[in-house]
Amino acid sequence: MAYDEQNIFARIIRGELPAIKLYEDDQVLAFMDIMPQADGHALVIPKTPAVTLLDLPPEAAAYTIQVVQKVAQAIEKALDAKGIVLMQLSGEAAGQTVPHVHFHLIPSSIHQLGRHAAQMGDQEKIKTLAEKIKAEL
């Protein structure tokens, strides 16, 4: 699948759309999911244009995972999370809805996850959770 430069996450990377950001450097961006499946649901994306993990150059994948680990550690501390579901959907057939590769970090249990990308979260609550997580980064 060709990469669509107008997808939502590409627009967030370019600063054309807002996001509640947790961490950013020249290669990676971490931000809060707008329709969280649990409190503290965050996303980590490489800035490299790639639709799925399978399209991402291995060096970019390796660096993105380092940031996934860093953000997961911050979520664990900030929210006293007992476990974090790390989810990566590659391809529409797997349920991927935004065509820019991303990792979900969801402080929850696989047995208790709410529905995927289903309901807008309370953005003020999400901002408060983001401040707590950022304080641990």
CA distances from 123 to 55, 119, 120 (A): 32, 12, 8
Which active-site residues does the annotation give? 102
User: Binding string, 55-94, against ligand 5GP, x = CB under 6 A?
Assistant: ----------------------------------x-----
Q: How far is the CB of 93 from ligand 5GP (least distance, A)?
A: 12
Residues 62 and 74: their CA atoms lie apart, in Å, by 19
Token pair in block for residue 3: 């990469």
In angstroms, what is the minimal distance from the CB of 78 to ligand 5GP?
Answer: 18
Residue 33 engages ligand 5GP in binding (rule: CB under 6 A): yes
Closest CA to 31 of 58, 60, 11, 51: 11
How many residues bind ligand 5GP, per CB under 6 A? Answer: 13
